[in-house]
A and B are shown apart, each in its own frame.
Chain A
Amino acid sequence: MQKRLLLDLTHFEITIKRLCCQLIENHDDFSNSVIIGLQPRGVFLAHRIHKNLQELTGIKNIALGELDVTFYRDDFRRREINAPSETRIDFSIADKKVILIDDVLFTGRTIRSGMDAMLDIGRPAKVELMVLVNRRYSRHLPIEPDYVGIQVDTIRSEKVIVEWKETDGKDAVWLLTE
């Protein structure tokens, strides 16, 4: 098993800052935008982006929600099910610009479930997708991100691991090769 560092602490922070700046360019004062992190691991990125945006812009009331997609997955009964996490969206997403956030984009199936779950909650004006890691050439569905932390070209047997200060003690992105 080979382990290669894709993003270290310094670059991790720079990447988050850059993603925030890109959001600010497109969303002005965020009065009509909401951030939704996908459970379980996209939530960490969503919280980090939210915190950095508040620091950078001084706007205190950017809406932030968490969305669980377990009941919308298409691999139910095909593999061991994950325990569902909490969905917490205490604002309306109707006619808002939604920034959907996940940590790694791979086959696109989770994002598909996420979009279905989100549309059951309301009808947004527009949906954008932000991911920290975009694994290219591995999509099963025609889904592409609008904001990307880093691009990686990987094969199926490889794994991308995103570590967060909150749960793993430090921020880092790793590539594992068999």
Chain B
Amino acid sequence: MTAHFDFLVIGDDEASLCAAACAQKAGAKVAIARSSKSRKKQTAGAMPSVPNFIWRRLDLQDFGLTLDRVSARVTLFETGDPVVTLPGVRDTTAALADAGIGDYTLWQDFVADAAALGDSEFINSASSGAPNDGAASLANMLGDRSALHRASVLSGSCQALLDDCFEDNRLKGHIAAHALAPSGLGGAEPGSAFALTDYFNDDAWRVRATGEGRSLHDILTEVCERAGVTIYAKPLERVSSDGGKFKTAIFDDDEKLKTRVIFFATPDAAADAGAGHCAPGASIRGAGAATATVRVKLSEKIDAPAHDSDAIFQIIDGGDDLQEARDAAISGRLPERLPVEFEIAKNGDIIARSAYFPAVFFEDDEWRGWSSQDRQAAAMHIRERLGSRLPGLANIILKATIDITGAVTADSAFSDCAGVIVQPSRHNAISAAVRLIDRMIVGDS
């Protein structure tokens, strides 16, 4: 007898586990398929915070979990002082004033405006990919002037929104870098304003494990097990659909299960599983690009820029870098001035990533996939960028490893996307994934 499920969640990250546990607890029947790659035992970098409502639903207080907020968002430009913003609005205002940024008085209003903008029901529901009443919500939005204005700003570019608010180019570059770099978007792209407003959500501020106690991933796995989620820890071979309510997922040992919905908590999980093409509105999420993560082991601790080793750092030369890098990535080229995000892990490793690599390369009028030389070049590129902001880095590197996600693979288990739901890239993947799966459960019943 083949097992039947409401949801098959594919992925092994915190967002997937949270979504699975919450859905199971809400009464759905859920299975998790861990991706083929086994999770490497490494010092975790910053991750999305667990919003309070999920904390309560999963009773995470029972597990002695402690998480630290990332201390600051810092942008390191080619020249001049770093620009720093902090979790508190007033602290940020003061920091900006100290840094001589003339627009500091506007920060508070900007944050409030950006948060209010994110409150666009139409765009939020249309971008989630969940079933919803498109016509009615379109009519509602068109009939309400301020809702329509919000939707229009969200559908515009991040750059236009920032130009309307600020004059200081460094501040604009800083905001754009932190808001857009995680999803690899360009500042001038229509729709990039959406990522910007998402970033001003309270939950968007990332957290980091304290290094004591169990990791969030372990705890969530246990929560899933306790809740009764079925976990399949083997590679998925193929997914097929006979057009009925259920899709059949077949594992590499020929075990089968049937599920109503295949759920990806993040676009990265979908890309990993070869289902990147199933995402709706792929362009709003920075599709067409791959993400490279480089971990650098050092022989000694490095001095953190801005004297803050708990911050998230962005490296850009100027505000236009993001769009240029995005343009290069989707045209199949390596960007010249690669935006790189990095942090210093508790054990002193540097974890650097950039979502501005091409998913496929375009060379000599041909599209081609990633080669090992490309991986080397990407790692080199990121190391160079790190070196430009961390003097002396080159001399203390012991080892660097690179991991690429989102690169286009030749064959995909997902020929048909019906019944496949992919949560678009959000600053807080956990919160977004749980909200989406909740909405789908409500929609079902």
Decide whether A and B assemble into one complex: no
Interface residues of A (CB under 8 A from B): none
